């Protein structure tokens, strides 16, 4: 007889373990180590998934019922119990229940609560279902919801930029655009705002694609990795959850996190889109720049220096971009080292996807709110629009139009800039005459009027870009409706 180092159990302790809060345990001789069980718990990470798990469980009831595995009475009891759980999720009492039970995850907590509310019917809820397909389905429902939220946030921000661009276009406000943070060329504020909006248009479209992809294939019914011997009606469950069809291969499905990763990627890219203008706004609100002022409702002060007024929301958005990018990289790396089907490592991706997405969406909301409190100083912008010889390129273009080569014009205008800089003055008509050009733009307004190409700061081109962008935003919004 082989001796075991496992302590013997009484019948009573075996039954308590098997019928306790865990969804497994019958083949185990002893209860799990409490510390290791706690280490493996994802409850705090995935409580946000609770409403989606309830929807998933309702659809599984449908799959069982339509497959002839559940009576109408039992199905009604399960739906009634799930109604109660949904209410408790909304009012917060479910969270207290789940934490008090120290469950492994939110999925097990919901299953246990249903069994409390409907003991007989509740014991049938998990038939033909694994947490593997349950989690995969719940994550897709979460991804669809949050991608839609992200798209709408990005649309809101893009519209806010374009609305202010229209006002700036009417006012004709100019500023010196920069490269390397050095004065480069005069542009209109409307051109700058329209340019900043474009990244959010792309972010909205990216989120919308994730929402579409999250509605394609329903994992429910894939079970652990090989489907079920029970006649589950997977198509009925898929329809109820708004999926186009059941997933094709159970082995792939239970370990697939591509759409959820795409959600986190879209979220990270959207926060990067907010981070870049945030960097400019932080600089613009400094006294040295003076291009903008942040309203009191969006600024913070110093605990030591009474005069301070800090653009913290924009700085925190920059930080959120770095954090979300790191989270996305970690989540992607987690999936790279595992085989097909489900492995417990994927629990880490669930936490990363949820935390990363929630933080990114909060950052986008904060950016939108702070931008509403940002006020531009048109006078300061205008005064500096032509400083730093920003019209030099226009003068060189005028030389090229008159017959000079690009290299000749570049060298000749550079020499005039050097001379003017030594003399402490701007480029003037004397420089233009010395270059043998009859006329050339020497101020910001003339510079942008001289632009001829599409996508330039010429007011007509900016107006066309704003109109096209608004149409694209309308199309994305229509898709989300």
* pLDDT value at residue 39: 81
pTM above 0.85, yes or no: yes
By CB neighbour count within 10 A (0-12 exposed, 13-18 middle, 19+ buried), where does 373 fall? middle
* pLDDT value at residue 3: 41
Domains and CATH numbers, the chain: 36-122 (1.10.275.10), 137-229+251-383 (1.20.200.10), 387-459 (1.10.40)
Q: How many CB atoms lie within 10 A of CB 302?
A: 10
- Residues labelled catalytic: 180, 302
* Weakly modelled stretches of the chain, pLDDT under 50: 1-20
* pLDDT value at residue 377: 97
Q: How many CB atoms lie within 10 A of CB 26?
A: 9
* 127, 133 Cβ separation under 8 angstroms: no
* pLDDT value at residue 27: 73
* pLDDT value at residue 476: 98
* pLDDT value at residue 25: 65
Q: 29-56, pLDDT tens digit by residue?
A: 677 777 777 788 888 889 999 999 999 9
Q: 368-382, pLDDT tens digit by residue?
A: 999 999 999 999 999
Q: What tokens does 397 get? A: 């273009």
């Amino acid at each position: 007889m082989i001796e075991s180092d496992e302590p013997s159990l009484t019948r009573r302790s075996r039954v308590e373990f098997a019928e306790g809060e865990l969804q497994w345990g019958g083949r185990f001789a002893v209860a799990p180590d409490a510390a290791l069980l706690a280490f493996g718990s994802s409850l705090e990470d995935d409580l946000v998934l609770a409403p989606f798990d309830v929807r998933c469980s309702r659809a599984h009831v449908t799959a069982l019922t339509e497959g002839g595995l559940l009576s109408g009475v039992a199905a009604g009891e399960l739906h009634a119990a799930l109604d109660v759980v949904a209410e408790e999720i909304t009012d917060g009492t479910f969270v207290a229940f789940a934490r008090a039970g120290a469950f492994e995850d939110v999925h097990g907590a919901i299953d246990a609560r249903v069994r409390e509310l409907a003991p007989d019917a509740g014991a049938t809820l998990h038939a033909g279902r694994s947490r593997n397909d349950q989690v995969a389905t719940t994550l897709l429902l979460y991804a669809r919801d949050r991608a839609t939220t992200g798209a709408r946030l990005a649309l809101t921000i893009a519209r806010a930029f374009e609305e202010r661009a229209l006002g700036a276009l009417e006012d004709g406000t100019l500023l010196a655009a920069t490269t390397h943070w050095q004065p480069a060329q005069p542009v209109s504020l409307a051109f700058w705002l329209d340019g900043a909006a474009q990244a959010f248009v792309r972010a909205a479209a990216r989120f919308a694609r994730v929402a579409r992809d999250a509605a394609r294939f329903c994992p429910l019914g894939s079970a652990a990795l090989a489907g079920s011997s029970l006649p589950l009606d997977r198509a009925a469950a898929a329809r109820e959850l708004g999926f186009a069809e059941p997933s094709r291969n159970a082995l792939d499905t239970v370990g697939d996190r591509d759409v959820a990763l795409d959600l986190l990627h879209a979220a990270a890219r959207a926060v990067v889109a907010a981070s870049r203008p945030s960097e400019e706004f932080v600089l613009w609100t400094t006294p040295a720049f003076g291009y903008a002022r942040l309203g009191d409702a969006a600024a913070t002060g110093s605990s030591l220096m009474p005069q301070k007024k800090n653009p913290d929301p924009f700085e925190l958005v920059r930080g959120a971009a770095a954090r979300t990018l790191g989270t996305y990289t970690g989540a992607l790396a987690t999936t790279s080292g595992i085989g097909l089907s489900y492995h417990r490592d994927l629990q880490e991706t669930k936490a990363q996807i949820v935390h990363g997405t929630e933080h990114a969406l909060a950052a986008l909301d904060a950016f939108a709110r702070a931008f509403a409190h940002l006020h531009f100083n048109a006078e300061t912008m205008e005064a500096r629009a032509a400083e730093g010889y920003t019209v030099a390129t226009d003068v060189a273009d005028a030389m090229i139009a008159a017959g000079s080569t690009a290299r000749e014009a570049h060298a000749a205008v550079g020499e005039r800039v050097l001379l003017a800089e030594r003399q402490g003055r701007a480029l003037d008509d004397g420089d233009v005459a010395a270059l043998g050009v009859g006329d050339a733009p020497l101020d910001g307004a003339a510079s942008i009027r001289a632009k001829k190409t599409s996508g330039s700061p010429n007011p007509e081109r900016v107006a066309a870009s704003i109109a096209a962008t608004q149409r694209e935003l309308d199309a994305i919004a229509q898709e989300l409706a």
